[in-house]
Structure 1
């Protein structure tokens, strides 16, 4: 448990802050692929276009109070929104749970960025370079903020990027086609900068298990899976990194609930 103040109040604040951030992340995940501005424009119902009022924008509570439907047209509120709010809230709670000094709360940024990247990759097979670079840069900033192991983090960043980039280039040379997007090595490099090289083997192993779970889920839904099926590797890596991070607190935080939103 944290030693930076009243534990219960801090945990509640961490979850609340995360849920608010999650609402914004859901908006970014919806607007960014369409090229719409993410910081301008009022939130509106996707079905009828009605501008949402303040009481309809309270994270988690609004969807529950409205029974999952728009107050104006009755259309279903996308489950994706409240799932992102819930998971981001859990990330905020986890950051507080793991914090030993106030500076450690910066790890919430790590979890929130990974949630956003996972959502974009699951929905659009897209890892925007601006976000993977932001993950890496924030990892470097957090390293000096928290006085972490500089050598382990820099080695982790280099090993994560160069290792997966070698696999990507090797596959292209052998098969004559792309088998992996350029964003995946950048993502693993960013994870390495945040977590250090020691965590990378565990992240890769857990990501493989997440990938198998995703394939099994697709099959249960009746989706035909074959050799040409695209697997969102970035989402698997992001989910695995959050899981490995959570394992440090022995918390069974497995954000596979993301998969049920799509």
Structure 2
């Protein structure tokens, strides 16, 4: 599907079983809050978390979007999660470990725009088909699971993820949907987070998945236009007269004008 909404620069995961985290999230400036029913929730707390997620979605998160990450298709909680999400007021449903278009279609059938997490080699290879499913609004890179399933050593950089990450972006762009980068695990390394955000934006991602409130401002700044970009975009639009022409020391055409307008629209959010 082609989504008319601006892609979130920041998508904060938090356990749906943690009422304090939910309350705090309402004071934060995240573009999207993802209430997690999967990995962040103990098995004996799944039902409670599901009810809490539905209640939190009903109350909302101000201007921020609300998503609920359900348990994976093979989980015993999956069917109950789908029923709850279908009846909830969340904006999006997130499905982990998406590996086939059929899986994505089954979740999208609940009627909520779907964000499919690509976390395995099979998921990466099927990303284009998943992205093309009606109702899929975006792909999320599941960096931690990708590292594990690809056999990348702990502490290694993102070089081993490069092909998988770019494949996710390519699949999303081919279907004109969002592409959200994976999480950054270190909570005490703001410089590392900023560098990874810059790398993600350079690959073409729209925003970053986050696991702590302190990461929001850094990611929002990295995935938002800089002052120089804004000045350049405004000047380019003002100078363009149509067709291929020179602007400063580079050639521009209609495509570049469209990019500049999109950048300004993103800033004006």
Category of TM-score, reference length = shorter chain: under 0.3
The TM-score normalised by the length of structure 2 is 0.26
Larger relative contact order (CA 8 Å, sep ≥ 6):
1
Kindly indicate which of the two structures has a greater share of residues assigned to helix.
1
The TM-score normalised by the length of structure 1 is 0.26
